[in-house]
């Protein structure tokens, strides 16, 4: 018995320091934005353990990183937030020598306006904002954002609990630019969202999917990838980008300036850019991807999706969000007032 105890103690001593030294990377991503199988495969292939956390909006993610108390090796922000984080030195340049699979990314997605030199961000997904609607309860397919002000859908609609997105659509509904920083435009958008608020069942992010699939409301403001997922689960659901135009977004993989395991982060980015992995991930996440090699593997099924392949005339009416500098505070303040208004 004594011998066994000594052996166990020796084995524990040998294992513990090794466990303490095990390589890890910490990943901070949107909810429902990676196939868990992909994380398992990465851990198995590389021996690097992934510590995974999620956020719901760019603003939540930014607040956590800018506060400085936490360190992540990988984050996946959207365009305007990448622009902000580059300006505030919160991101580091990527060493492309360590990410050979970046060759799979279509060059037209690289060096977008938010990362003009193409040094900080690896495009991961892209999409539009639009209206997801239930064809069983919505008589005519919506064509305008004004559907979201239609009293027919009183307490029968969901809006995004995301300041930049929801305010942008309110700006468009008021006939203003979705990147406007004019206080009068924003006052119009605020008034419209306050008028709309009694009709809104809830301001939600990822929860919108189960709720719309379950038929809890007729219409919802959603991102296209979530619409794709919902439509695959409930045949009665359809998606439209209204005729007034919308936002087109690009979510990209970045390495924060204070990352602890840059080499591990680069391996992870390279893994995500691999065609077979990007295909697996696309099939789970549902968002349009910039990875040409993966799209080729997916085949016809990819091009068949009108949600992820909007016609050029729709894309022509969509704009990318810009970082708005100090005016961002005005957005935050207005959003807080809308959400707390009774
Ligand atoms: N389930 C999370 C989806 C994340 C989509 N990002 C959208 C960014 C819009 N600015």
* Chain segment 266-299, per-residue pLDDT in tens: 999 999 999 999 999 999 999 999 999 999 999 9
Same domain, 99 and 194: no
Q: State whether the beta carbon of 59 lies less than 6 angstroms from ligand 1.
A: no
Same domain, 324 and 234: yes
Q: Which atom of ligand 1 is nearest to the CA of 164?
A: 10
* pTM, rounded to two decimals: 0.92
**321 CA: nearest ligand 1 atom:** 10
Domain that holds residue 132: 127-248+311-340
Q: How high is the pLDDT of residue 6?
A: 44
Residue 25 and residue 46 share a domain: yes
| Residue percentage of the chain with pLDDT more than 70 | 94
Q: Which atom of ligand 1 is nearest to the CA of 127?
A: 7
Q: What is the per-residue pLDDT for 19?
A: 52
* 318 three-class SS: strand
Which of 60, 251, 288 for a ligand 1 pocket mutation test, highest count of atoms within 8 Å of Cβ?
251
266 and 166 in a common domain: no
Claim to verify: residue 159 and residue 267 sit in the same structural domain: no
57 or 113: which leads in pLDDT: 57
Residues 159 and 275 in one domain: no
Please check whether residues 90 and 12 belong to one and the same domain: yes
CATH of the domain at 238: 3.40.190.10
Q: How far is the CA of 32 from the centre of ligand 1 (A)?
A: 10
Contact 80 CB / ligand 1 (< 6 Å): no
Regarding whether 121 and 172 lie in a shared domain, the answer is no
Lowest-pLDDT choice from 36-50, 58-72, 163-177, 231-245: 58-72
Question: Ligand 1: does its nearest atom lie under 6 Å from the Cβ of 78?
Answer: yes
Q: How many domains does the chain have?
A: 2
Which residue has better confidence, 8 or 201? 201
Q: Do 47 and 164 sit in the same domain of this protein? A: no
Same domain, residue pair 183 and 316: yes
Q: Per residue in 305-334, pLDDT tens?
A: 899 999 999 999 999 999 999 999 999 999
Residues 191 and 318 occupy one common structural domain: yes
Paired residues of 219 in beta bridges: 133, 157
CB of 32 within 6 A of ligand 1: the answer is: yes
| pLDDT on residue 112 | 85
CA of 223 to the centre of ligand 1 (A): 6
Residues 266 and 138 in one domain: no
The residue ranking higher by pLDDT, 77 or 17, is 77
Confidence at 70, pLDDT banded by 50, 70, 90? confident
Does 13 score more than 50 pLDDT?
A: no
Q: Which residue blocks in 234-327 are alpha helix, DSSP H?
A: 262-273, 275-285, 292-298, 300-303, 312-315
Q: What share of the chain is helix, strand, coil (3-state, %, to 5)?
A: 50, 20, 30
C-alpha 321 to ligand 1 mean position (Å): 13
Query: What mean pLDDT, rounded, does the chain reach?
Result: 94
Cβ proximity of 203 and 179 under 8 Å: no
């Amino acid at each position: 018995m004594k011998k066994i105890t000594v052996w166990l103690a020796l084995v524990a001593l040998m294992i513990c320091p090794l466990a303490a030294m095990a390589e890890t990377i910490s990943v901070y991503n949107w909810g429902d934005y990676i196939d868990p199988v992909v994380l398992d495969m990465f851990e198995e292939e590389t021996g690097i353990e992934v510590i995974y956390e999620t956020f719901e909006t760019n603003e939540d993610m930014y607040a956590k990183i800018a506060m400085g108390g936490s360190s992540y090796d990988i984050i996946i922000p959207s365009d305007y937030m990448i622009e902000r984080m580059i300006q505030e030195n919160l991101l580091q340049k990527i060493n492309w020598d360590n990410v050979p699979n970046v060759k799979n990314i279509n060059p037209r997605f690289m060096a977008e306006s938010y990362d003009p030199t193409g040094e900080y961000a690896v495009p991961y997904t892209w999409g539009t904002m639009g209206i997801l609607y239930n064809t069983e309860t919505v008589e005519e397919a919506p064509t305008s954002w004004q559907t979201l002000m239609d009293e027919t859908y009183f307490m029968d609609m969901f809006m995004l609990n995301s300041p930049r997105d929801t305010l942008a659509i309110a700006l468009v509904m008021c006939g203003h630019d979705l990147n406007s920083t004019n206080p009068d435009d924003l006052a119009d958008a605020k008034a419209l969202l306050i008028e709309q608020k009694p009709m809104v069942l809830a301001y939600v992010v990822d929860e919108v999917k189960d709720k719309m699939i379950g038929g809890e409301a007729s219409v919802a403001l959603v991102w296209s990838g979530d619409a794709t997922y919902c439509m695959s689960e409930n045949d009665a659901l359809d998606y439209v980008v209204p005729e007034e135009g919308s936002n087109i977004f690009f979510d990209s993989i970045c390495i924060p300036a204070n990352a602890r395991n840059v080499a591990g982060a680069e391996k992870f980015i390279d893994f995500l850019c691999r065609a077979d992995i990007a295909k697996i991930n696309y099939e789970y996440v549902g968002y349009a991807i910039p990875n040409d090699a993966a799209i080729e593997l997916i085949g016809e099924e990819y091009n068949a999706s009108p949600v992820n392949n909007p016609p050029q005339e729709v894309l022509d009416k969509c704009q990318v969000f810009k970082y708005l500098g100090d005016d961002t505070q005005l957005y935050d303040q207005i959003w807080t007032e809308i959400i707390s208004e009774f």
